A and B are shown apart, each in its own frame.
Chain A
Amino acid sequence: MNGLWKIVLLGAVMAILLLFALGLKNDPREIPSPLVNRPANDFTAPALEGDQPVQLSAHRGKWVLVNFWGSWCVSCVAEHPYLIELAKQTKNRSDFVMLGVDFRDNPDSARTFLARHGNPGYPHAQDPTQKIAIDWGVYGAPESYLVDPKGTIRMKHTGPLFPGWFEQRALPLMQGEVK
């Protein structure tokens, strides 16, 4: 074996190890959404409570957190206390609103869910046939999207939002620290 072959072999081994190292950093559960940095698909749907339909584009000019959930979803129960806290915490902000999309659910079960686990107070759109959810590339619940004031999706969060999510993930985006 001459020197050239040794270098080629070493290079190949290094390349494989590098690919492994890169692969280990990936979260296999996280499927990248092609919707990030693209205009959010607008929706108008009947609200879970009240007669006023829920429309995304009505909130243009504000950051909108769109949270997909359902009363059938176990992780949503775990996420719910934080949503209540976040709604309370951001109530006085003029640049941030929250919307829920209750998908693949029946409205009565969803209302019972809110009565049992607490009502965060922001509007929820009804999406019994998953039309909005599919239009937003949703796989399961809960999934959340952060839409910027121009109506562009800036972030997708798969799974329950965790305490501190707003400060750690949303605020840096909203303050323009993350491009």
Chain B
Amino acid sequence: MRHFPPLLLLAWLLAMPGPALAELRGEDPTEAMVRHIAKDLRCAVCQNQSVYESNSDLAKDMLNVIRAKVAAGEQETAIRDYFFQRYGDYIYLEPTTQGMNTLLWSAPFIGLGIGGLALWLAMRQWRKRANENVKPVPTHAAMQERIQKELDQLRM
């Protein structure tokens, strides 16, 4: 390390992502398509990683299958469907909005709606009750006299 100044090491480390970035910029359209598809597919044996990000063997082989299919000119939807037919909708990183999933997606909004309605009904009732309570209650004559007396005292 003595012959390798730390500053030079830093420069070398900073230069590292350079080629990778260049590769990304000059990415050929086939590979871009592969990336686009693989990013949406779940690596089945990983913890919440996409096929594109994962280093697992299954993900790498899946990537190769995608690559072969893109090279063969298959459409994106056909390729996505290929994996869906085999692994079910678990394979999609983002759940689909079809079938039973529609219910799942809309449930929070339905819940919010029901909650809002319930709150509105409850508030209406509270207000009604509050208005009822405001009705003037006739004061006892003795009490009225006492209040008047104390008010007079205050005004002195």
Residues of chain A whose beta carbon lies under 8 Å from any beta carbon of chain B: 31-35, 104, 129-131, 133-137, 139-140
4 tightest A-B CB contacts, nearest first = A137-B86, A130-B61, A34-B88, A139-B44
The listed residue (A35, A104, A130, A140) touching B86 by CB distance below 8 A is: A35
Closest-CB distance, A164 to chain B (whole angstroms): 28
The listed residue (A104, A131, A137) touching B65 by CB distance below 8 A is: A131
The listed residue (A32, A104, A136) touching B57 by CB distance below 8 A is: A104
The listed residue (B45, B64, B87) touching A137 by CB distance below 8 A is: B87
When distances are taken between beta carbons in the complex, the residues of chain B under 8 Å from A34 are 84-88
In whole angstroms, what is the CA distance A31 to B64 when docked?
Answer: 24
Do A104 and B90 touch across chains, with their CB atoms under 8 A apart? Answer: no
When distances are taken between beta carbons in the complex, the residues of chain B under 8 Å from A139 are 44-45, 58, 87
Do B58 and A32 touch across chains, with their CB atoms under 8 A apart? Answer: no
Instruction: Give the nearest-CB partner of A5 in chain B.
Output: B118
Closest-CB distance, A7 to chain B (whole angstroms): 14
When distances are taken between beta carbons in the complex, the residues of chain B under 8 Å from A140 are 45
Instruction: Give the nearest-CB partner of B89 in chain A.
Output: A34
B interface: dominant SS: helix
Please report which residues of chain B, range 84-101, place their CB below 8 angstroms from some CB of chain A when the two chains form the complex: 84-88, 90
B33 within 8 A of A: no
Number of interface residues of B (CB under 8 A): 14
In whole angstroms, what is the CA distance A68 to B64 when docked?
Answer: 20
In whole angstroms, what is the CA distance A143 to B86 when docked?
Answer: 14
When distances are taken between beta carbons in the complex, the residues of chain A under 8 Å from B57 are 104, 130
Residues of chain B whose beta carbon lies under 8 Å from any beta carbon of chain A: 44-45, 57-58, 61-62, 64-65, 84-88, 90
In whole angstroms, what is the CA distance A133 to B57 when docked?
Answer: 12
Instruction: Give the nearest-CB partner of A1 in chain B.
Output: B122
Instruction: Give the nearest-CB partner of A33 in chain B.
Output: B88
Instruction: Give the nearest-CB partner of B64 in chain A.
Output: A129
When distances are taken between beta carbons in the complex, the residues of chain B under 8 Å from A129 are 61, 64
Do B58 and A130 touch across chains, with their CB atoms under 8 A apart? Answer: yes
Do A134 and B61 touch across chains, with their CB atoms under 8 A apart? Answer: yes
Do B45 and A104 touch across chains, with their CB atoms under 8 A apart? Answer: no
Instruction: Give the nearest-CB partner of A31 in chain B.
Output: B90
Instruction: Give the nearest-CB partner of A32 in chain B.
Output: B88
Do B86 and A136 touch across chains, with their CB atoms under 8 A apart? Answer: yes
Do A134 and B88 touch across chains, with their CB atoms under 8 A apart? Answer: no
